[in-house]
Structure 1
């Protein structure tokens, strides 16, 4: 349960995600999607309920502790360091591995550098390695964000509005990269997205929120035929 000034932003939201599953999280503006991601990752405190991750209740953990346990995320508004290069931003993702900010002043070890290089190659952006993050396109920034999220070798990644500001070609590329990470590394994803076509084409299951509550939970086929979802969100 999460409230803001007495307004219930989330209540009675209960669902599970299996290892290696891709779950789409959709709903109208203000339905609580980004708030839910913030609560799951402990970027935001909540008043009631629990969050169990890998068999452990993480409701009272700090954000860094949750990240070290295997959960990472991206944000609705891109969070990169524009004055640093793509390579330097990628290496900053290692802070979630437990090195902490103090450890970031030390040179990255060979394994960390190799991980960053492999992820940059996977996203097909090696040509951007030495460019400043503030000089690349919005879509390319989203790819760098995903690189950073993957630097800690997470088992679950939360993507918030991953296709926002991304051109159609890069959206297809992003879909491909998510699928590769899911299939080859077994990473599970919870994806908040307004691009319904993207969600229906990638998700194993879709969770629908409405007014801070769980409206529906099912396969893309089940959601597309759910009259409550059609009335509240998808339209006629």
Structure 2
């Protein structure tokens, strides 16, 4: 018996004011995959995540999770944006606890989970400080901890490291991969960083310029940890960049 994909996009189209952003987009994602979406600006990458999380509807077509149509937001789907979007009047721990707002756990259990998650993202020493006292990379780690703490079945990340310096970005990429592998979540990541895509993904989905369609699916079979100076890694990056920049 064929396994039902966890996520299915079926002939999905999205238009705004007579401008077609996505057209006949089709993609299946199986449970536990880490899939990265890349492509030129305006091709609909972030729009796909917003539709999957339930923040806006498709113009036509179907978006399914476990065979059921997406209708609004759901606790099985979580999203992390490029900006941390932390509440400045709440401590780091209190911001992370927002990810457990709908949990049946008592307050003591929730707090312990939050502290454990902060330990995993190396922020335990900052549990009681306010966001204004954090660097950009630290604030983004808080946002990741908040997004992951409830163990959503599907985790989406929209350019989460785009505004960070190279060293911090590489560190958080590795932490994201470790969290993905340890939690078994299904992860969809949007990025403009081709090296980031090849370093993390099981599959890289390259979208064509607007209207976005899948130009090519690139399977990444390199074992983790992936070394960015390896010839195979460099060749994959070169191939994906060519697909993005070679206008059809």
State if a TM-score over 0.5 links the two structures. yes
Give the counterpart of 2:88 among 82, 92, 112: 82
Is the partner of 2:100 in helix, strand or coil?
helix
Distance 1:133 1:225, change over 3 A: closer
For the pair 1:57 / 2:63, whether they are aligned, the reply is: no
Greater mean alpha carbon deviation, residues 181-190 or residues 169-178: 169-178
For the pair 1:217 / 2:227, whether they are aligned, the reply is: no
Deviation at 1:121, TM superposition (A): 0.4
1:198 maps to what in 2?
196
In structure 1, what is the Cα distance between the partners aligned to 2:204 and 2:151?
A: 24
1:104 maps to what in 2?
none
Aligned residues: 220
Give runs of ≥4 in structure 1 deviating > 2 Å: 107-111, 167-170, 220-227, 231-235
Distance 1:32 1:108, change over 3 A: same
Deviation at 1:7, TM superposition (A): 0.3
Give the counterpart of 1:20 among 5, 27, 32: 32
Deviation at 1:194, TM superposition (A): 1.2
Q: Which blocks of at least 5 consecutive residues in structure 1 are unaligned? A: 100-106
**What is the CA deviation profile of residues 77-98 of structure 1, one whole-angstrom value per residue up to 9, with x for unaligned ones?**
3311122111110011113x36
> What TM-score results when the alignment is normalised by the length of structure 2?
0.81
**What is the CA deviation profile of residues 155-190 of structure 1, one whole-angstrom value per residue up to 9, with x for unaligned ones?**
211011111222223222212222222222111211
Deviation at 1:234, TM superposition (A): 7.2
In structure 1, what is the Cα distance between the partners aligned to 2:141 and 2:100?
A: 16
Contact 1:91 1:108 in 2 (8 A): no
Contact 1:23 1:190 in 2 (8 A): yes
**What is the CA deviation profile of residues 40-76 of structure 1, one whole-angstrom value per residue up to 9, with x for unaligned ones?**
1111122111111123222xx222xx2x2x1101113
Distance 1:176 1:8, change over 3 A: same
Q: Which has the higher strand share?
A: 2
**What is the CA deviation profile of residues 121-154 of structure 1, one whole-angstrom value per residue up to 9, with x for unaligned ones?**
0000112211111331111111111111112211
In structure 1, what is the Cα distance between the partners aligned to 2:170 and 2:117?
A: 17
Distance 1:23 1:231, change over 3 A: closer
**Higher RCO (Cα < 8 Å, 6 or more apart):** 1
In structure 1, what is the Cα distance between the partners aligned to 2:48 and 2:236?
A: 20
> What TM-score results when the alignment is normalised by the length of structure 1?
0.85
In structure 1, what is the Cα distance between the partners aligned to 2:183 and 2:244?
A: 36
Distance 1:234 1:145, change over 3 A: farther
Alignment of 1:103-114 (within 5 A): 109-114=107-112
